[in-house]
Amino acid sequence: MAEAYRVAIVGSGPAGLSAAARAAQLGISHVLLEKTDHLSDTIYKYQKGKHVMATPSQLVLRSDCDFDAGKREAILDVWNRQASEQKINVRYHSEVVKIGGVAGAFTIALKGGAEIQAEAIVLAIGTQGNPNTLRVPGVETNTVQYQLDDPGEYVDEHITVIGSGDAGIENAVGLAADPEQRNTVTILNRSADFSRAKDANVKLLFSMRDAGRLTVMTDTAPNLLEEGFITLDTRDGVAKIPCNRVIARMGSAAPRKFIEECGIEFTSPDREAFPKLSPVFESTNAGIFVIGALAGYPLIKHCMNQGYDVIEFINGNRTLKPADEPILEGKFKDLPGRRGVEYWLEFLRDNVAILEELSPLQMREFMLDSDVHAVRKGEVVFERNAPGSSLFGIASGGVRIEIDPRDPTRAVPVRAGSVFGEVGLISGRRRGATVRASEDSILVEIPRNAALKLMASVPAAKRALARISVERQLLQIFGSGLGPGDLAEVVNSSEIKSVKAGETIMNEGEEGYDIYVIRTGSMIVEKTIGGKPVFLSYLPAGSYIGEMALIEGGKRTATVRAGIKSEVIKISGEAFKALLAKRPNLLEKARADMATRQDLNAFIEAKKDSFSGVVDMYSSVAGFLVQNGIGEATDVLLIDENLCVGCDNCEKACADSHEGLSRLDREAGRTYAHLHVPTSCRHCEHPHCMADCPPNAIHRGPDGEVFIDETCIGCGNCQRNCPYGVIRMDKVPPKKPSLLSWIFFGRGPGPGEPSKKWSYAHAKGGAEQPKKAIKCDMCSGIEGGPACVRACPTGAAIRVAPEAFLSVSRLERIEG
Amino acid sequence: MATRQLSRSALAGGTNHEGFLRHRNFRWLKIAGGLCLVSIVAYLLIDQKPHPNGGSAYGYTLGTIGALLILWLTMLGLRKRAMTRGRWSLKAWTSAHVYLGLSLIIVATLHTGFHFGWNVHTLAYVLMMIVILSGMYGITVYAALPRFLSNNREETTQTQMLDTLRSLDRQLHDAAQPLDAGAAELVRRSLEDNPFGGGLWQRLSGNYPKCPTRIAQLELRRMARGMRSSVGADPLEKVDMLLERKESALTLIRQHLRYKALLEVWLYIHIPVTFALIAALAAHIISVFFYW
Ligand SMILES: Cc1cc2nc3c(=O)[nH]c(=O)nc-3n(C[C@H](O)[C@H](O)[C@H](O)COP(=O)(O)OP(=O)(O)OC[C@H]3O[C@@H](n4cnc5c(N)ncnc54)[C@H](O)[C@@H]3O)c2cc1C
Ligand code: HEM
Ligand code: SF4
Ligand code: SF4
């Protein structure tokens, strides 16, 4: 007979543990199933001594287990102690592989064959997922592991590391680092290059290879494991090498598939989607509840509160108020009329169309991330050219979008129920128009991340937004007296296409007169001159292209390709022609735009003989910059190595303007033709770093800068996600003595970032400083602008927006 | 075909990027040139009694301008390090520093009225000229060397260069274990050699005639020739290969350090002599007012 319980809780992270503690307190028969041999594997795997943060601070903790900011070890100790004191029934080594049955009589299959019966199930397995496993003969009988805790443990072994990502490289390098360990390390990569890993890691790997410390085998896959040997398929045939241990780091599979197999639906097929849940965390498979990171709440406090709540709900408690109530009260307190949280949540949900399909639970969570504003008639919501990537929904009242900066009376009204601000959200560029309230209104401001989450969880919202955004984007570009009515046909004929980096959307000499609007990403325009492609210009999101062939007739005069992964709106030439015929002033505008471009073509043609070498040079420099991420940058630091004397004053200035830590590494980074792209933030249109930040601490600021606020918990996700390696994790050093006392008395370490040794020696005792993510904030709020540029004595350091830098005007300068 | 962006940064203009010498189309060259011109014309026009000297009204004016300029020029050191807020640019400061500093040659020389002697006044003048000459060397290397520095390092950072050396040293250490005492001693000397060692002259010239790594390699090759025996796995051969790689790594970093030293060395004259100059200048002014 299988073990049987009232509730089975799967996963002993903060969410599951807190649920089990509540069940134990209430005397409910329960079991806490944990895959590993310890509690809370995600936190267990944090780096040793990591300072764990307890954000958001306004949220009160409601759990039978304690949790306060502090060291990883201390937190795990408390939980281990409390788990035994409270007599939580933990079953270790119990990986759940299958759930069958229905509410009241579930059967839980564990790896290894055991079964457990439960009336209700709480899934709290987090989002870490399972490592992808190696599938070759011999895996069962040989030493294969998917994790490496301490590379120092292994000596005198032949170790094969499989995987070409950062984890694999770091493991291989770690195992080979100390020759005293006498390990023979080989790393295998299925493909020819290490494109998934960070540049710095790859460089390190190659330097170790060149130093003869380890072997790198590309185009190689494992084939067979035997006692003491591994057989490999290489490009040149089969090879057999000694091998005592395999470390496979081949990424991990998200737990989604497993969840779906449990009969639980997700809100949409998007990667970002979460399981569909009721207000009491119940999934679409009645009797199975989902909480914690898996439910979309990645902070430990949220997880623990939900653990408590879910058991109360299962136990029949109907009156429990969520612990986030005070936060929501705060958000609504400035709205007119004294109404409660419930009232406002319903009000917003009923009145803003894209929120309609949210469940009450989702609506609560949504509001935790969002804000409401009551604005008066005539008040400006945001200005043209202001940065901002939030989306606004109008719950009551209305606004006017002033499409013509010269004439504020020309405006498109937007009424209650609809949204605005979506262009910034989608393209990551500055606001295209000023928006003003046309009557007293209540607006919800949805930050970028919350908006993305919303689109992922409510497919209808995504579709509605796509249509609105196409329409608005077209209005903005062709805004000469058009109304949404005029555009209906154009919008209907349009389609959104995604374009891979390097792919072309039109080719020189080709027939075709469709028009393309760049929705996200950026494009580069090239023309073939003397048999070579010449870089003509760079088009950021929000530009349109292709009208020349349409208006003038004839073939395409240039090739347009994506600089990075982009999205374009393709508009049928027919529909656009019809629109032009109806609206002569639009035709005029298009002609004027076209004239500039024709000038450019003529200019290039005229110059090509006089300085074809220069044209070449310019094209290759532009190509180099696009390769180095300038195509998705909004602002980037470049160093002209014809001028840079290597004084590092830029780095020192950066450190001295920001709590003593430099956010740029001048010497590192790529160089081409003396143009150097140092390791420093590019303030990407769509910052990769923002993707996975548990406290949502990364934002786009008032000057377009991407910055990290003080709620950072130091998890390092952003550092891993930034493809340019510009984020560092570090502690703020102690304050230095003043500059004058350094000059006159030699006190302190002098200008620039103090050495680690000095910081250590002068650290204040007491509370330990946590490591936090540090990156360039473009010196926002500092009068005079970026310190690196101001402090460069020779003018070598410049900051540029790519569209200004990548323009043909540079030709004359390069020549000069 | 057209886009909204193109009209923004049309054909001419573009980004504003000039080095410190060309800053704002040589604005400070023009200003400093103007200052010199006015001083020279005035020198020729004004009839100074009894003969041109620092004590005339004209001389006082030039002297005051010169002294203030020197103090202001010295402030560059502070400006460079005090990261205060505000719309200043060190490039503009350097540009003004260079051209106004050069104008001192005219301003101060005319101020002396060509009276030189073995006294504190002439000492101040000479010190100033030393500072200026060192500055002229400075802008010459600032203009010429950065591209060589850049070409030489080819995207490697100094830290990486040192890491490479360190890793080669570790391998050399391991590979030298089977060698006999004499050969091991040669390798040990190479291992003990510090890439930052050597005198100033070696640093600036890039010549390291007694480089232990090269000596070790030459000697080992000589030894090997005497007893060419085993093939392939010969430990001497491995050491030889490593020494060869170490030598090319050393060449890279020495060249790097050489360019950096050439770019910096003059500051070790420019700055200390500036302080000597200010002391001499103070003595000059005090003695003029109290003992003239
Ligand atoms: C490096 C890092 C630093 C972070 N720092 C902070 C911080 O400072 N503050 C903060 O609030 N948040 C932080 N977070 C986020 C936080 O750790 C997680 O969001 C939180 O742990 C999620 O809790 P959970 O209970 O939902 O799942 P998890 O903590 O992921 O726990 C899931 C548990 O389920 C087990 N499990 C998985 N699958 C099965 C299965 N099939 N059968 C049985 N058991 C299974 C796992 O072994 C694991 O023990 C950080 C995250 C990371 C990665
Ligand atoms: C009497 C005249 C001068 C005085 C008192 C003076 C003083 C100084 C001082 C104090 C510094 C600061 C150095 C530092 O702290 O790093 C400096 C830097 C410099 N000076 Fe002068 N200087 C004088 C003339 C000149 C002239 C004539 C030139 C050029 C022809 C010149 C070129 C420079 C340059 C290029 C720097 C370096 C800027 C940098 O790298 O930060 N100086 N000078
Ligand atoms: S930190 Fe990296 S990903 Fe984020 S904006 Fe800067 S360059 Fe882009
Ligand atoms: S800013 Fe980076 S390190 Fe900090 S919490 Fe966000 S993702 Fe983690």
DSSP A719-778: HHH-TT---EEEPPPPPPPPHHHHHHH--SS-SSPPPHHHHHHH--SSSPPPPEEE---T
Tokens found for residue A744: 């006159």
Q: Looking at the complex, does the CB of residue A548 fall below 8 Å from at least one CB of chain B?
A: yes
Mean predicted confidence (pLDDT) in A490-505: 86
- Give how far B103 is from chain A: nearest CA, Å: 20
Q: Which residue has the higher pLDDT, A464 or A230?
A: A230
Q: A563 CB contacts (<8 Å, ≥6 apart)? A: A501, A521, A522, A523, A524, A538, A626, A631, A632
The ipTM, to two decimals, is 0.91
CA of A442 to the centre of ligand 3 (A): 34
Highest mean pLDDT among A160-174, A300-314, A348-362, B213-227: A300-314
Q: Looking at the complex, does the CB of residue A751 fall below 8 Å from at least one CB of chain B?
A: yes
Q: Which of B7, B11, B154 faces A809 most closely, judged by CB atoms?
A: B11
Tokens found for residue A345: 């949540």
Instruction: Report chain B residues whose CB lies below 8 A from the CB of A179.
Output: 170, 174
Q: Which residue of A has its CA nearest to B166?
A: A211
Q: A498 CB contacts (<8 Å, ≥6 apart)? A: A565, A566, A567
Nearest to A168 by CA among A126, A192, A198: A198
Crossing angle for the helix pair A72-85 and A14-26, to the nearest 10 degrees: 20
Q: What is the pLDDT of residues B150-165, one digit of tens each?
A: 999 988 889 888 888 8
Q: Specify the residue for token string 């950065």.
A: B146
Specify the pLDDT at position A763.
Answer: 83
Specify the pLDDT at position A85.
Answer: 96
Measure the CA–CA gap between B120 and B141, rounded to whole angstroms: 32
Instruction: Report chain A residues whose CB lies below 8 A from the CB of B23.
Output: 795
Specify the pLDDT at position B15.
Answer: 41
Specify the pLDDT at position B133.
Answer: 97
Q: Do B90 and A791 touch (CB under 8 A)?
A: yes
Q: B71 CB contacts (<8 Å, ≥6 apart)? A: B278
B289 φ/ψ sector (left φ>0, alpha ψ -120 to 50, else beta): alpha
Local structure of A1: helix, strand or coil: coil
Specify the pLDDT at position B2.
Answer: 31
Torsion of CA A734, A740, A744, A747, to 10 degrees: 0
Specify the pLDDT at position A813.
Answer: 46
DSSP states along A153-204: G--S-EEEEE--SHHHHHHHHHHHS-GGG--EEEEE-SSSS-TTS-HHHHHH
Mean predicted confidence (pLDDT) in A588-593: 82
Kindly tell me if the per-residue pLDDT of A307 is higher than 50.
Answer: yes
**Cβ atoms of A522 and A506 closer than 8 Å:** no
Measure the CA–CA gap between B215 and B183, rounded to whole angstroms: 11
CA of A676 to the centre of ligand 3 (A): 18
Q: Do B147 and A674 touch (CB under 8 A)?
A: yes
Q: Looking at the complex, does the CB of residue A173 fall below 8 Å from at least one CB of chain B?
A: no
**Cβ atoms of A812 and A735 closer than 8 Å:** no
Interface residue of A790, A798, A808 to substitute, partner B, most B CBs within 10 Å:
A790
Q: What does chain B come to in residues?
A: 292
* Position A579 confidence tier, pLDDT thresholds 50, 70, 90: confident
How buried is A229 (Cβ within 10 angstroms: 0-12 exposed, 13-18 middle, 19+ buried)? middle
* Position A484 confidence tier, pLDDT thresholds 50, 70, 90: low
> What is the pTM for the complete model shown?
0.77
A275 φ/ψ sector (left φ>0, alpha ψ -120 to 50, else beta): beta
Long-range contacts, A112-115 (Cβ 8 Å, 24+): A114/A2, A115/A2
Q: What is the pLDDT of residues A388-447, one digit of tens each?
A: 778 999 999 999 988 778 888 878 888 898 899 887 776 666 787 899 999 999 999 998
Ligand 2: list residues with CB < 6 Å. A 647, 793; B 70, 73-74, 76-77, 80, 94, 97-98, 101-102, 104, 128, 131-132, 135-136, 138-139, 142, 267, 270-271, 274
Task: Give the residue whose CA is nearest to atom 2 of ligand 4.
Answer: A718
Measure the CA–CA gap between A171 and A113, rounded to whole angstroms: 33
Q: Which residue has the higher pLDDT, B148 or A481?
A: B148
Specify the pLDDT at position A794.
Answer: 95
Report phi then psi at A120, rounded to 5.
-135, 155
Which atom of ligand 2 lies at the shortest distance from residue B94's CA? 38
* Position A629 confidence tier, pLDDT thresholds 50, 70, 90: confident
How buried is A734 (Cβ within 10 angstroms: 0-12 exposed, 13-18 middle, 19+ buried)? middle
Domains for chain A: give ranges and CATH numbers.
3-129+253-323 (3.50.50.60), 144-248 (3.50.50.60), 328-478 (2.60.120.10), 495-609 (2.60.120.10), 620-815 (no CATH)
Q: What does chain A come to in residues?
A: 816
DSSP states along A202-268: HHHHHHHHHTTSEEEE-S-EEEEEETTEEEEEETTEEEEEE-SEEEE---EE-THHHHHHTT--BS-
CA of B101 to the centre of ligand 3 (A): 42
Q: B288 CB contacts (<8 Å, ≥6 apart)? A: B54, B55, B121
Q: Do A645 and B145 touch (CB under 8 A)?
A: yes
Mean predicted confidence (pLDDT) in A90-109: 95
Kindly tell me if the per-residue pLDDT of A691 is higher than 50.
Answer: yes
Report phi then psi at A496, rounded to 5.
-95, 125
- Give how far A746 is from chain B: nearest CA, Å: 14
The type of residue at A375 is: V
Mean predicted confidence (pLDDT) in A315-342: 86
**Cβ atoms of A816 and B20 closer than 8 Å:** no
C-alpha A100 chain-centroid distance: 36
Specify the pLDDT at position B166.
Answer: 85
Give the pairing of strands A380-382 and A434-437.
antiparallel
Torsion of CA A535, A540, A544, A545, to 10 degrees: 10
Measure the CA–CA gap between A801 and A632, rounded to whole angstroms: 10
Which residue numbers in chain B have pLDDT < 70? 1-16, 54, 226-233, 291-292
**Cβ atoms of A13 and A36 closer than 8 Å:** no
Nearest to A234 by CA among A246, A250, A216, A260: A216
Omega into A687 within 30° of 0, i.e. cis? Answer: no
Q: What is the DSSP letter of A429?
A: S
- Tell me how far CA of residue A114 lies from CA of A16, A107, B264, in angstroms: 21, 10, 73
Q: Considering chain A, what is the average pLDDT of its residues? A: 86
Specify the pLDDT at position A809.
Answer: 47
